């Protein structure tokens, strides 16, 4: 028997209260057993997204919510601009290309932070119906300044679509205040649920800007009409919705601001621990990097060996790099149902495995550094 720990940046650990709700007897989605739950979930999602607009819920992973945005907004041949600095920016680009958009990509090296000035300049050269952004680029640990990027896109008259799959509920994402037209996310990250629910907060201008691509299951108007009557257009995954209800209740009970502050502190703890191990951070050493801490493997060690080592020795799942970063970085997740002991567990395990692998680590200092960074001054002045 080996205890298992899930420390990836999605899926993330799920609180027992949520699992209990997911495991409760199945109810009928058109019955009074479900409708109040559905209504509460839709209202809580608006609260978490900080929007007055409808938040549309789909039985799909986050990529399904992506596809809803592309299928509803894009017409073949229409100009669109993707800002990409990692795996998920590339996913937007690939999907827009698949739908025949006339695509421009403002492309950064993986690990760079997109700059609003670059976006402004690019939109002056070539207009775009919509700008497609990634809030938290889970492949690199960079959290972009979506507020600034959205402002640049708005100045140019473009709609703003944001991938908030790994950011919603972990770092501030002000849908209405920042003028975000579409925010897509998924259940299995900071929302503390199993995978399987995708969501899209959709503004009136975005609904009015519908394109001509074929769509059916992901048609926003169909889902919106049905949701407004609390009558889902297709059988919803009632068990996941019941779990999401409990999870959102926990998040809102903690308070969004308190949750954001906790994530800032978790990020600080992870970075302090990593640096005390003598390792180099790949993700930026800044409070905004509150979702996942990406770390360069020491010279001569494949990051896959670290990932496998913590798994084999301790039952801990952390993440390897993606794409070209596979083997070069590893990623410590800290979104959703995480506390400081989840960070020190990861740090201690990495320390032990690095020593096994022959790396020169100073023993016994990293956990203390992580705990001290977590406890330090308030995250926000």
Residues forming contacts to ligand PLP in the complex (CB under 6 A) are 10, 61-63, 88, 134, 136, 138, 163, 165-166, 186
Least distance CB 112 / ligand PLP (angstroms): 16
Q: How far is CA 286 from the centre of its chain?
A: 18
Question: For residue 323, what is the DSSP state?
Answer: G
Of 188 and 227, nearer to ligand PLP (C-beta) is: 188
Instruction: Between 140 and 303, name the residue whose CB sits nearer to ligand PLP.
Output: 140
Pairing of strands 319-320, 329-333: antiparallel
CB of 63 to ligand PLP, least distance (A): 3
Which residues does 53 contact at the CB level (< 8 Å), separation at least 6?
46, 175, 176, 201, 202, 203, 204
The residue number whose beta carbon is nearest to ligand PLP equals 62
User: Which CB, 61 or 223, lies closer to ligand PLP?
Assistant: 61
* Smallest gap from residue 367 Cβ to ligand PLP (A): 27
Burial of 324 (0-12, 13-18, 19+ CB in 10 A): exposed
Q: What count of other Cβ atoms lies within 10 Å of the Cβ of residue 20?
A: 12
Burial of 312 (0-12, 13-18, 19+ CB in 10 A): exposed
Output 163 or 181, the one with its CB closest to ligand PLP. 163
Least distance in angstroms from the C-beta of 114 to ligand PLP? 13
Contact 330, 277 (CB under 8 A): no
What is d(CA 100, CA 365) in angstroms, rounded to the nearest whole number?
A: 53
Comparing CB distances to ligand PLP, the nearer of 292 and 353 is 292
CA 224 to chain centre: 23
Q: Which is nearer to ligand PLP, 94 or 258 (CB)?
A: 94
Q: State the nearest-atom distance from the C-beta of 82 to ligand PLP, in Å.
A: 13
Partners of 137 in beta bridges: 142
What is the closest distance, in whole angstroms, from the C-beta atom of residue 86 to ligand PLP in the complex? 8
């Amino acid at each position: 028997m080996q205890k298992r720990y899930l420390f990836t940046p999605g899926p993330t650990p799920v609180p027992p209260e949520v699992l209990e709700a997911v495991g409760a007897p199945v109810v009928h989605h058109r019955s009074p057993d479900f409708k109040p739950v559905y209504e509460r979930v839709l209202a809580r999602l608006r609260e978490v997204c900080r929007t007055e607009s409808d938040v549309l819920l789909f039985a799909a992973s986050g990529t399904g919510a992506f596809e809803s945005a592309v299928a509803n907004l894009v017409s073949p041949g229409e100009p669109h601009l993707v800002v990409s600095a990692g795996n998920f920016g590339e996913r937007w680009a690939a999907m827009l290309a698949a739908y025949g958009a006339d695509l421009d990509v403002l492309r950064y090296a993986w690990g760079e932070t997109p700059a609003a000035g670059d976006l402004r300049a690019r939109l002056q050269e070539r207009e775009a119906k919509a700008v497609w952004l990634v809030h938290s680029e889970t492949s690199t640990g960079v959290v972009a300044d979506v507020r600034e990027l959205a402002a640049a896109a708005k100045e140019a008259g473009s709609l703003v679509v944001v991938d908030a799959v790994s950011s919603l509920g972990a770092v501030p994402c002000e849908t209405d205040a920042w003028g975000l037209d579409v925010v897509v996310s998924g259940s299995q990250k900071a929302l503390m649920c199993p995978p399987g629910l995708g969501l899209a907060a959709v503004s009136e201008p975005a609904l009015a800007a519908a394109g001509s691509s074929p769509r059916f299951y992901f048609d926003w108007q169909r889902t919106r009409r049905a949701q407004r009557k609390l009558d889902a257009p297709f059988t919803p995954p009632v068990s996941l919705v019941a779990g999401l209800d409990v999870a959102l209740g926990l998040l809102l009970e903690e308070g969004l601001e308190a949750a954001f502050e906790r994530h800032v502190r978790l990020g600080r703890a992870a970075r302090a621990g990593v640096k005390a191990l003598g390792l180099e951070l790949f993700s930026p050493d800044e409070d905004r990097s509150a979702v996942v801490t990406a770390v360069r493997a020491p010279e001569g060690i494949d990051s896959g060996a670290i990932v496998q080592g913590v798994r084999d020795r301790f039952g801990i799942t952390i993440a390897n790099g993606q794409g070209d970063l596979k083997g070069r970085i590893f990623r410590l997740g800290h979104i959703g149902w995480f506390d400081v002991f989840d960070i020190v567990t990861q740090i201690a395990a990495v320390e032990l495995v690095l020593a096994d692998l022959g790396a020169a680590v100073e023993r016994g200092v990293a956990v203390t550094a992580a705990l001290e960074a977590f406890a330090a001054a308030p995250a926000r002045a």
